[in-house]
Amino acid sequence: MFDYSARPELLKDRVILVTGAGRSIGAAAAKTFAAHGATVLLLGKTEANLSQVYDEIEAAGHPQPVVIPFNLETALPHQYDELAAMIETEFGHLDGLLHNASIIGPRTPLEQLSGENFMRVMQVNVNAMFMLTSTLLPLLKLSSDASVVFTSSSVGRKGRAYWGAYGVSKFATEGLMQTLADEVENVAPVRSNSINPGATRTSMRAQAYPGENPLNNPTPEEIMPVYLYLMGPDSTGINGQAFDAQ
């Protein structure tokens, strides 16, 4: 496991947006960031899930989060602009962006993967991630120390059979992370890095490996040290790097 111990007030006064914040790793990250002092913007498509995370953060006495129902599969350009305008009006800037939301799609040979399924995965995992990044970058540049964290995968670092659209989308994720990192290097107070969570006890993992005993994998909460490290000031100057949570 990534070795890092975060001080309690690590993210005090930071505003951090988390996509896919309603469950699994996204929910764990949102609650962990809030527990370390951040105001977390909970973005996801299922409002009931987001509200539950909101209630847990509130009940724990952490800074009041914001629920943002947003469907990355169907969102139009003007909706991204409206999201950025809302964040600017409410907070004036953005200190962190965790790209966590993604879908796995069918795990089949490329030959049997429909164009429709391929494009759906790319829409959520790549196109929407690009739209969020480009639209929110001006707000991140207004921070004195901003961090963009992309969620990758081992199949986005070395291609593997039957991972098709998902694997390709994670290669694109690494490419977007590296491109952004090179553009902001020594130009803006923004850093860009990726995390490969590894085998984690999530519903997506269970979908991909139905025969596996989930108890052999760490919970989302257990892989949070690297997320805290990259979102906090201790990683200032770390840019363009691919991290493993485990």
- Active-site positions read 166
CA distance 47 to 145: 30
CA distance 218 to 214: 8
Residue 82 identity: E
Burial of 89 (0-12, 13-18, 19+ CB in 10 A): exposed
Q: Are 111 and 32 in contact (CB under 8 A)?
A: no
CA distance 62 to 100: 21
- Backbone phi, psi, residue 157, to 5°: -115, -25
CA distance 99 to 170: 12
Structure tokens at 168: 């390709």
Residues 6+ apart with CB under 8 A from 61: none
DSSP state for residue 1 in the 8-state scheme:
-
Q: Where are the beta strands (DSSP E) in 154-218?
A: 190-196
